[in-house]
Amino acid sequence: MNNKYYVDFENQFRGDRKTIVTKLSIYDRLVKKVIASNDYNKFIDIGCGRGEWLEKWNINDVECIGIDQNPGMIEFCQNRKLKVLNADAIDILKKLPDQSVSIITLFQVIEHINYHKLIILIKEIYRILTDNGVLILETPSIDNLSVSSKLFYLDPTHVNHINPDGLSFTLQQNNFDQVKYFYI
C-alpha cells in the first residue's frame, strides 16, 4: 500500500486532528498521575500515525517518541517537529533498557498485528515499562456490531478482531497485574 494512500485514508476516516485530541483527553487524569509519580517521563506511541498523542503530551517534562512504519505518517509528524522513528516497534523496544518508559500507547494498532507478534510486543512493553508505568491500548470494539463487521473491514490493513477478555488474559499471563478495559 503506498504511503500517501494510508495518510489520506486516516484523514478521511479517522477524523480530524482536533477531534482525535479531544477523544484522547479521556486519558488526561491517568497520564497526569503517571507524570507526577515519575522523576523522568518517557512516552512511546506505537503506530503514532499523524502524531496527535505526541503533540498533546510534547511538554517540558515528557520525552515523547512516536514509532510508525508508514513513511508518509513519519514525514507528516516530522513536518510538525515531532520526534518519530520509521521502524518496526519490536526492533526499537528491544534496544531500550529495562524499566525506562513510563507510558506506552497503541491507539488503533493491535488489530493490525498478528497474535504471535502481539505476544512479542507485549513482552517487550512489560520489560521496558517502569514499575508505575502504564500501557494504554485502544482497538475497535467487537461488541459493537457495526464496528466489528462493516467498519472493521473498511481498513484493509486490519488483521484480526480483538476480544477484550482474551486480551486481558494475555496481558495477565505476561505479568500485567492491573488489567482493566473500558468501552469508550
DSSP 97: P
| pLDDT given at position 172 | 97
| pLDDT given at position 80 | 94
Average pLDDT, the chain: 92
| pLDDT given at position 176 | 96
Q: How far apart are CA 184 and CA 181, in angstroms?
A: 9
Residues of the chain with pLDDT under 70: 1-2
- Per-residue pLDDT tens over the stretch 84-126: 999 999 999 999 999 999 999 999 999 999 999 999 999 999 9
| pLDDT given at position 1 | 60
| pLDDT given at position 38 | 87
Residue 105 has φ and ψ, to the nearest 5°, of: -125, 145
